[in-house]
Amino acid sequence: MIQIKSIQSTQTHIVRHPVLRPGKPISTCIFDGDDLPSTKHFGLYTNTDLIGVISVFENKNLIFSESNQLQIRGMAILQDHQGKGYGRLLVNEIENYAKSANTNLIWFNARESAAKFYKILGYQISGSLFDIEGVGLHYVMYKQI
């Protein structure tokens, strides 16, 4: 059975750590703003196992003019479960949440390796590749909703 549920910030570390910060201290899985009331975390479960996470932050990127923006962060699916459609389900969940919160635009810093995944889901690239130190090359990507 597959279920997406609201989770606490610390639960995201179960997936953030092996997928996004492998070999790094667990403290690198704590993001600024994780525990703000406006920040939401969602987890995808297969039966009782948490295998995917995604978080959204109220954070306006000034390169976009839209007033109500949400930033996706910490999108990750455990390696053994990638490529089965779970990432798409989590992004869809965030888009539904964003619509209910009257968001105009979703944006995020996408790893270069994940840009095609987001393009398939209708997101566009803004600008050029840039480096996030210790994490790698990223594009800003966005979708008006």
Does 117 bind ligand COA (CB under 6 A)? Our answer is: yes
Does 19 bind ligand COA (CB under 6 A)? Our answer is: yes
3-state secondary structure of 69: strand
List the one residue out of 49, 6, 28 whose CA is nearest residue 135.
28
The window from 33-41, 73-81, 94-102, 122-130 that contacts ligand COA (CB under 6 A) reads 73-81
Among 114, 125, 137, 145, interactor with ligand COA by CB under 6 A: 114
Cα–Cα distance for residue pair 120/88, rounded to 1 Å: 9
Position 77, amino acid: I
Among 98, 105, 106, 110, interactor with ligand COA by CB under 6 A: 110
Does 82 bind ligand COA (CB under 6 A)? Our answer is: yes
Nearer to ligand COA, 4 or 76 (CB): 76
Q: How many alpha carbons lie under 13 Å from residue 118 in its C-beta half-sphere?
A: 24
The window from 33-41, 61-69, 81-89, 92-100 that contacts ligand COA (CB under 6 A) reads 81-89
What residues does 136 pair with on adjacent strands?
132
Cα–Cα distance for residue pair 45/54, rounded to 1 Å: 12
- In the complex, which residues of this chain contact ligand COA (CB under 6 A)? 19-20, 75-77, 82-88, 110-111, 113-114, 116-117, 120
